[in-house]
Every structure is written in C-alpha cells, then in structure tokens.
C-alpha cells in the first residue's frame, strides 16, 4: 500500500505508517530550505565583494609614501 506524504509529496510504503517518518520528512524539507537560503546568502556576499571598487594604485602609492614618512620620523 503506497501512501502519499502530505508534507513533501513523496510516495513510499512507509509514509503514514509512522509519525516519526513524517517528522523526518519535515526536517529534511526544513534543512533543504535552510541550505538554499545559506547558498543564496553566500552568492549575495560573493557578488557584493566582486562589485566592490578595488583600491586605486595611486592611493596605494600615497599610503606607502606616508608610511615611509612615519617610519623615518619614528627612526629619528
């Protein structure tokens, strides 16, 4: 006798026979949803990182010069 799970729609011999199995199906669906949400969050973070403007090379040179200036002052 095959039953259709009311929660996930699967058909198996055991669905409906044990309440614990329905609970497990619910838990699996919840975990799948959390995994999907986490994956989407990771994709959004990666996209934001890639869209961030990179540090300008002129700015790097300016910071290096400033660092050298402070190092010279400190060494005196």
**Which pLDDT score is estimated for 38?**
96
Return the HEC string of the chain.
CCEECCCCCCEECCCCCCHHHHHHHHHHHHHHHHHHHHHHHHHHHHHHHHHCCCCCHHHHHHHHHHHHHHHHHHHC
Please tell me the pTM assigned to this model: 0.48
**How many domains is the chain partitioned into structurally?**
1
Average pLDDT of each block of 10 consecutive residues along the chain (76 residues)?
A: 64 61 89 97 92 80 92 85
Domain that holds residue 19: 3-75
């Amino acid at each position: 006798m095959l039953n259709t799970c009311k929660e996930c729609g699967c058909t198996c011999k055991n669905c409906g026979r044990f309440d614990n199995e329905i609970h497990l199906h619910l838990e699996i669906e919840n975990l799948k949803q959390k995994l999907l949400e986490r994956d989407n969050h990771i994709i959004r973070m990666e996209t934001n990182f890639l869209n961030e403007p990179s540090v300008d090379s002129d700015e790097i040179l300016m910071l290096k010069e400033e660092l050298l200036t402070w190092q010279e002052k400190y060494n005196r």
